[in-house]
Structure 1
Amino acid sequence: MLLPIGSQDDFGKTVANRNYVFEAFRKVTTFRGYEEISTPVVEYASIFTNQHVGMPLQSLMKWFNNEGEIEVLRPDWTTAIARALTNHSKSHEKWAYQGSIFRNNKLGVESRQVGIEVINFPNFHGESECLLMARNFLEELAINHYVIELGHTGIFEYFINQLNLSNEELKALQIAMHDKRKDRVHQLAEQNGKEHIASELVVLIDAFGPSEEVLNEYEIRWRNYPILLKIVHHLKKLAKLLNESSKVPVIVDLGMVKKLPYYSGIIFRGFLEKNGSTCFSGGRYDRLYAQFGEDKNAVGLGFDVDVLAEQLSIFNKPKKICVIASDDSLSYAEEIRKDYHNYIVEVFYDEEMINKDDFQKVIYILQKDGKYKVVENEDMYRFN
């Protein structure tokens, strides 16, 4: 075995498509005013395993350093960037990142991401920027068939705050909500003596679908719950913006449960219509900076580069030209590239080395009377 389990080599189109995604992302974020940020691939485990982030240590790629501290390969960009921005002086910030994260709880330990972090912008402004940037980026990649899903951590929290749950019970309830197991949800909530909360949570499991339909229904249902009504109105405002700015379907899931503790408000995901794969996800994470002793309002999202790269069509690559040269004419062949700067130019010594069908044109460098001459295939016999 030459590679560890979960590692792999990639070739050709796979690598080219990923690079295209990276290049398109950099183009879009540059023109939207983002600055670039990069963090080390090696971090202390404690940055990610504390109560604010809550990543299980067993899911991280880890080892002990010389001082006995546990170090890890970067498992999460958002947390790493929050650490990097500690004591950063700027008030309003837009950051773009690209690179790999490493976890051993999924197929392959390495996955590639690009993403953005929007710091200290008004809530609606920052959230809108994330979602509109996502639309802009996917349009740049010619990916048009996807669905945006909106949720809010405050809804589930509103109900569970009325229950007296242990940490283990809370985790079990979150899993049951995520898996849409109504019987388990009802059981966990009811055993804490809150029958009406149990009923609300069970109903919440089915509170997903087209944004306008679901939000209108719950605007009426929660008209006497000011906190929940405020959340519904916020979701309606975001959904309206998205519906006005694109033809992409917008759905909501009011029972959506956050995967990481630091999410604290709007959460969103993008799904490809073709196969249901998640192409981006993110949300608000104001609480994350508390571990660094700071209070910032922050929102961001990350794109799965590997998922996006698989969706790319064959792009219009430049036409290919083959130059047949020799040891003596190799430097002359290099000069010829300048005449075909919009073409892929490959140089070979022998035409038997090539498949002529791979090239739009084959040209030959011939020597006559001490001078070099460039001719195309059909001119060979006239030249001789």
Structure 2
Amino acid sequence: MFLPAGSQDEIGKRLISRSKAYEIFGNVTANRNYKQISTPVVEYATTFTNQYAGMELQNMLKWFNRDGEIEVLRPDWTTAIARALVNQHPSQLKWSYQGSVFRSDKAGMESRQAGVEIVHTSSFLGESECLLTAVNYLDELEINDYLIELGHTGIFDELTSHLNLTDSELEKLREAMHDKRRDEVYQIAITNGHEEVANELTQLVDAFGSIDVIEKYEDLWRDQEILLGILKHMKQLAVLLQELGVPDVLVDLGRVKNLPYYCGIMFRGFIRSNGNTCFSGGRYDKLYEQFDESISAVGLAFDVDVLADNLIIENDRQKICIVASEQSHAFAEKLRTSFDNAIVDIQYNLTDEDRFDKVLEVIEEHNEYKVVER
């Protein structure tokens, strides 16, 4: 049978790698005192499309239920967990999850994630714990060829607050910044504001690199208290990562939020060899306002599919085949238990001996079974 566009069957190595990635994630988060949480794969669309979450219904896999309400396959873990945590006691601060999200605007439709959410915690502590959990996890996966990037929504928000922009114009400017379209950034800003801000925003498009970028802008923004505070906060996180041995910490002062509910620090992890994003996250305090709550919240999600593709699975277990028959199958099954830490398969007719390190055959002599090696 054919599959819908974006769906696919999977076999073999990638499934093994993904299972290993999930297993190690569970161990890492348990050791760091996270509590597991899971939400239903089917939710009401309004959980994600309200003004606080701000996600687009058109990108979700959806249908009408029998009451005429729109239900969707979970498109986002953070929003779903925020809904669930409103009913949890605030004494538990750290939560972890594993599972899929479903989006029609992404290749494959189903994306496997593992992530953490930290609530009711001071900003620096929560953000540090997110990032250090990521470092811990990548280390345990033996993925060393990565870099971490820091950004902050407050820089764009502060600079654009001086412009006379409609919501539509502000969104166009954000998209232009996101796509690094310098000319469009300048044109939108100069048409609706003044030249100084237009120039600052345009220069921010290229304001990414090492921690030296922060030090450069500390001088440029020395008279702007809010922006200096943001730079100080970003620098503190970058220094923490460097002190713990993360070799490459980048900053992108021109980065804008790609999810509507981000409202502060943002971070991403990249696999250096191919540029793939292996995790992303950030602060999202405002998401809880839809529940009339004021809660400090920050989290990140790992792309388990990307991680699985970068895992090295070394299988040094011996592969043994026992060639038996219907009559000798019980004997062969008992024999299997005598091989510790080996992969043992029982077959009746072996056609490809090269797949195994050792092939044993059960034969009958004098009404007794014995084993010979081929």
Give TM-score scaled by structure 2 length. 0.96
Q: Is the 8 A contact 2:164 2:193 kept in 1?
A: no
AA of the residue aligned to 1:65: N
1:152 alignment counterpart:
152
1:111 alignment counterpart:
111
Offset at residue 361 of structure 1 (A): 1.5
- Per-residue CA deviation, residues 69-100 of structure 1 (Å, 9 max, x unaligned), is 11110000000000111131133421111111
Offset at residue 316 of structure 1 (A): 2.3
Residue 203 in structure 1 maps to residue 182 in structure 2: no
Offset at residue 181 of structure 1 (A): 1.6
How do 1:49-88 residues align onto structure 2 when only pairs under 5 Å count?
A: 49-88=49-88
Q: Tell me, what secondary structure is at the counterpart of 1:295?
A: coil
CA separation in 1, counterparts of 2:319 and 2:121?
A: 48
Q: Tell me, what secondary structure is at the counterpart of 1:95?
A: strand
Offset at residue 317 of structure 1 (A): 4.4
1:382 alignment counterpart:
none
Q: Tell me, what secondary structure is at the counterpart of 1:186?
A: helix
CA separation in 1, counterparts of 2:373 and 2:32?
A: 46
CA separation in 1, counterparts of 2:254 and 2:91?
A: 33
Offset at residue 369 of structure 1 (A): 3.7
Offset at residue 189 of structure 1 (A): 1.5
Distance 1:376 1:133, change over 3 A: same
1:286 alignment counterpart:
285
CA separation in 2, counterparts of 1:317 and 1:158?
A: 56
2:32 alignment counterpart:
32
CA separation in 1, counterparts of 2:316 and 2:78?
A: 35
Q: Tell me, what secondary structure is at the counterpart of 1:190?
A: helix
Q: Tell me, what secondary structure is at the counterpart of 1:339?
A: coil
CA separation in 2, counterparts of 1:127 and 1:373?
A: 63
Q: Tell me, what secondary structure is at the counterpart of 2:282?
A: strand
CA separation in 2, counterparts of 1:334 and 1:200?
A: 73
Q: Is the 8 A contact 1:144 1:248 kept in 2?
A: no
Offset at residue 375 of structure 1 (A): 3.2
- Per-residue CA deviation, residues 197-238 of structure 1 (Å, 9 max, x unaligned), is 112111211211012x11111111111111111111111111
2:317 alignment counterpart:
318
Q: Tell me, what secondary structure is at the counterpart of 2:256?
A: coil
Aligned mate of 2:353, from 346, 351, 356 = 356
- Per-residue CA deviation, residues 113-169 of structure 1 (Å, 9 max, x unaligned), is 111111112211111111111111112222111110001111111111222211110
Q: Tell me, what secondary structure is at the counterpart of 2:337?
A: helix
2:215 alignment counterpart:
216
AA of the residue aligned to 1:98: Q
1:256 alignment counterpart:
255
2:98 alignment counterpart:
98
Q: Tell me, what secondary structure is at the counterpart of 1:149?
A: strand
1:180 alignment counterpart:
180
Q: Is the 8 A contact 1:92 1:121 kept in 2?
A: no
Question: What is the root-mean-square deviation of aligned Cα atoms in Å?
Answer: 1.4
Offset at residue 279 of structure 1 (A): 0.7
Offset at residue 182 of structure 1 (A): 1.8
CA separation in 2, counterparts of 1:241 and 1:225?
A: 24
CA separation in 2, counterparts of 1:306 and 1:248?
A: 24
Q: Tell me, what secondary structure is at the counterpart of 1:4?
A: coil
AA of the residue aligned to 2:69: E
Percent of matched pairs sharing the same residue? 56
Aligned mate of 2:362, from 362, 365, 368 = 365
Unaligned runs of 5+ in 1: 378-384
CA separation in 2, counterparts of 1:97 and 1:333?
A: 41
Give TM-score scaled by structure 1 length. 0.94
Q: Is the 8 A contact 1:115 1:300 kept in 2?
A: yes
AA of the residue aligned to 2:3: L
CA separation in 1, counterparts of 2:229 and 2:8?
A: 47
Offset at residue 348 of structure 1 (A): 0.9
Stretch moving more, 59-68 or 86-95: 86-95
Q: Is the 8 A contact 2:17 2:313 kept in 1?
A: no
Distance 1:177 1:84, change over 3 A: same
1:132 alignment counterpart:
132
CA separation in 2, counterparts of 1:235 and 1:37?
A: 29
How do 1:293-304 residues align onto structure 2 when only pairs under 5 Å count?
A: 293-304=292-303
